[in-house]
């Protein structure tokens, strides 16, 4: 049976990868620094949990024992992201290569190398580590998750105000749909030609419309304030570089996700 190691498998995306892989009958090991309590939403029954740190490398080599495929769903939400994503990728791929792991799959972001946003630069460096490793590698570049888009438009939600950036659209994808793409890449018989696939959700929608939808779903009037998004980050989004309309892999719409997440 194929054994998958999900690095960051207690996180939002990682736990969905663990659940998807188990559903397909794979053997799943989850790597993180902290183990989830059994009652926690991060706990996926049937997965094996190991403690390791991809930065310090404590426990890392042991975690690779008997692993066929590594899926990297690591993240760090603070300034530590460079260490976790970039140094962590280097340590993770080195340990995997040393253990004879067959394939590595990295979760990344659509056209991440076309933005100068600091976090995107770190993700680009992380991709480069994977491309330069001796492992058979697939990079899965996903569009923004439904959760992220909802969070962005709701930063002033407590005041009943929902925000949108002028001229920006999203192609939000659900986390479970993204997890399907990652597990496809982990077990698929063929590698994509350039070692990379991009996946988006089923619809491209203006940010104003997404903001209205979130506002209404939270019982408000759906009042939306549209603001300019300046600079190179603004250009990245206004030029639609975050979109992959020809790669609408996800099936769960933003509206369906809103009903499920608020209902």
Ligand X SMILES: NC(=O)c1ccc[n+]([C@@H]2O[C@H](COP(=O)([O-])OP(=O)(O)OC[C@H]3O[C@@H](n4cnc5c(N)ncnc54)[C@H](OP(=O)(O)O)[C@@H]3O)[C@@H](O)[C@H]2O)c1
* 33 contacts ligand X (rule: CB under 6 A): yes
Is residue 200 a contact point for ligand X (CB under 6 A)?
no
Could you give the string, one character per residue 117-156, with x where binding to ligand X holds by CB under 6 A and - elsewhere? ------x------------------x-xx--x--------
- CA nearest 16: which of 176, 142, 254? 176
Using CB under 6 A as the binding rule, whether residue 107 contacts ligand X is answered as: yes
Which is nearer to ligand X, 25 or 45 (by Cβ)? Answer: 45
Is residue 4 part of the contact set for ligand X (CB under 6 A)?
A: no
* Phi, psi (degrees; rounded to nearest 5) at 255: -65, -45
54 near ligand X, judged by CB under 6 A: yes
Name the closest residue to ligand X (Cβ): 11
Q: Among 67-75, 163-171, 179-187, 241-249, which window interacts with ligand X (CB under 6 A)?
A: 67-75
- Binding segment (CB under 6 A) for ligand X, from list 32-40, 93-101, 208-216, 228-236: 32-40
Interface size with ligand X, residues (CB under 6 A): 26
Q: Which is nearer to ligand X, 46 or 160 (CB)?
A: 46
The one segment of 76-84, 188-196, 214-222, 231-239 that binds ligand X by CB under 6 A:
76-84
26 vs 63 by CB, closer to ligand X: 63
Place of tokens 């183990």: 35
| 8 Å CB contact between 169 and 226 | no
Residue carrying the six token digits 């950036």: 165
Binding status of residue 10 toward ligand X by CB under 6 A: yes
Please select the residue that binds ligand X; options are 76, 117, 161, 191, rule is CB under 6 A: 76
In the complex with ligand X, the residue whose CB is nearer, 220 or 240, is 240
Check residue 75 for interaction with ligand X (CB under 6 A): yes
8 A C-beta contact, residue 87 and residue 55: yes
14 binds ligand X (CB under 6 A): yes
Contact with ligand X (CB under 6 A) among 55, 71, 139, 213: 55
Q: Which residues bind ligand X (CB under 6 A)?
A: 8, 10-14, 32-34, 53-55, 73-77, 84, 88, 107, 109, 123, 142, 144-145, 148
């Amino acid at each position: 049976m194929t054994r998958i190691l999900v690095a960051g498998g207690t996180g939002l995306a990682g736990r969905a990868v663990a659940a998807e892989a188990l559903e397909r009958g794979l053997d799943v090991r989850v790597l993180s620094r902290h183990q989830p309590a059994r009652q926690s939403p991060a706990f996926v029954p049937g997965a094996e949990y190991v403690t390791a740190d991809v930065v310090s490398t404590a426990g890392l080599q042991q975690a690779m024992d008997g692993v066929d495929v590594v899926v990297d769903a690591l993240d760090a939400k603070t300034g530590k992201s460079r260490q976790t994503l970039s140094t962590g990728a280097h340590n993770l791929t080195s340990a995997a290569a040393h253990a004879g792991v067959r394939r590595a799959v990295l979760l990344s972001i659509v056209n991440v190398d076309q933005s100068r946003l600091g976090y995107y630069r770190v993700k680009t460096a992380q991709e480069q580590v994977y491309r330069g490793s001796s492992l058979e590698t697939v990079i899965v570049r996903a569009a923004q998750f439904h959760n992220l888009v909802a969070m962005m438009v709701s930063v002033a939600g407590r005041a009943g105000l929902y925000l949108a950036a002028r001229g920006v659209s999203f192609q939000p994808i659900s986390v479970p749909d993204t997890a399907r793409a990652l597990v496809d890449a982990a077990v698929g018989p063929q590698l994509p030609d350039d070692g990379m696939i991009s996946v988006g959700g089923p619809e491209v929608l203006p940010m104003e419309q997404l903001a209205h939808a979130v506002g209404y779903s939270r019982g408000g009037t759906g009042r939306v304030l549209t603001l300019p998004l300046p600079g190179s980050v603004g250009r990245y989004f206004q030029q639609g570089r975050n979109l992959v309309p020809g790669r609408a892999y996800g099936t769960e719409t933003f509206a369906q996700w809103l009903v499920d997440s608020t209902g």
